[in-house]
Homo-oligomer: A and B are copies of this chain.
C-alpha cells in the first residue's frame, strides 16, 4: 500500500482490562499513542485488547514482541489482584521481579501527604522487572516502566488517560525520539462541506492516487462525519522540508479542485472558520432555531471567545413563539407551513432585526421520527441566512433524529460561511433572495 522511502520502526499497542472487552467501553488510549507515534514516524502495526488474565496477556505480549520493535502496554498497573501487567511481562521476558524502594517511598509519601496510611496492596506497585527504568507518574500511584530487551523496547503505562498522557510525552523526549531516528511523519487535514464522501472521492482520487508514486509519496484517507468530509494527507521521510513542500503542493492541487467547498486546511473547525470571518468584519450573529433545538448555537459557542459575536439565539419550537419572538406573520405560517422557505427567511430576518446584528440565521425543519408528510418527509429542513445577501434553501437529510439535527446544524453554519465569503461562486448553492 505505502511507498515508504525509509523503513520505519514498528509498534504494537496492547490495552489491558476486562472492562475494555464490554460493549460500552473502548480503548481510546491507543488513539493518543498512535498520534504520538505517527509524529515520530513510528508505524502502528497492530492493536490488541486483552482482559485481566495473566497467561493471555503474557501470550499476546510475546507475540507482539516478535512482530514489532516497540510494544506499548496500557493498564493493569494498579495495586489490586487483577492488575497483572507487571507479572505477565516479567513472565514473557523471563525477568525476575525486584521491589524498588524508591517507588515504595514515593507511593507511601503520596498517601502520607493526604493523611493516610499506604494500604499493603499498594506494595505490589513497587515490583519491577529487573533492569526496567521507572517512569514517574505525577497524577497517580502507578509508576510506568520502560524496558530495553535485546533490540526491542517496551513501555508499560497506566490505563487512566490523564496518567498515561504526560508519561507518554515524557517518553517521547527521553527515549522514543532517539529510537525513532530521523524519519518523521508530516500530515495535513482538509475539511470539506457541501459534498458527499463519494463525490469528494470521485473528484479527488485521480489526483491523490498519483501522489503515491511520486518521489515524496503522500498517502490520502477520506473520513466522513455528518455534513463534513475530511481528507487526511500524510507523508514520511527524514527530509522534513521536502515533506512539507510536497504537502503544500498537494493541498494547492486540492484547493483548485474543491474550491469553496474546502473550508479548512489548518485544523480549524467550521465554527472557528465562521467565527474568524465574523470577527474580521466585527460583525455579530443571531440565531433562530426550531428543529435543531439549540444545537447550531451550541456548536457556534463551542469556540472560545464566541460571546464576542454570538449575540443571542432563540429556540422557537411553537408557532406562537415564532410569531411573538421573531415576528413571523401568523398567516405566513398558516399558508406556507412552519417548515417552509418563506418562514425560514422571515425567522432569519426577524432575529437579525430584533437583535440588531449584521447576520441572522434560521433553521426550521422536521427532525422526526414523527411529523413527516409525503410532501415534507422527516429530514426536510429549511435554512435561511439574512446577511450580506439573503439566502434560503431546503434540504433533505437522512438518518435518525440526532443525525438530522447534526446535519442541519452543520449545514446551517456552513451556509453562514458561504454568505460571508467575499465571492460566493456556487450559484446553485446560493440563491439570491
Contact = CB atoms under 8 A, between A and B. Distances in A.
Nearest to A301: B293
What secondary structure prevails in chain A residues at the interface with B?
Answer: mixed
Nearest to A307: B317
A89 to B, nearest CB: 17
A116 interface: no
A26 B19 contact: no
Contacts of A34: 21-23
A121 B351 CA distance: 55
A44 B21 CA distance: 6
Interface string A313-353: 11111100100010000000000000000000000000000
Nearest to A290: B307
Contact of A45 (B19, B45, B51, B302): B51
A1 interface: yes
B304 A401 contact: yes
Contact of A56 (B24, B45, B48, B304): B45
A1 B26 contact: no
A282 interface: no
Nearest to A289: B294
Contact of A295 (B19, B44, B63, B294): B294
Contacts of A216: none
A314 B314 contact: yes
A20 B316 CA distance: 42
A125 interface: no
A402 interface: yes
9 contacts: A26-B31, A63-B63, A293-B294, A293-B300, A294-B296, A294-B313, A295-B295, A311-B321, A312-B325
Query: What 9 A-B pairs are tightest by C-beta distance, nearest first?
Result: A293-B301, A294-B294, A294-B297, A313-B315, A23-B35, A294-B298, A295-B298, A23-B34, A47-B49
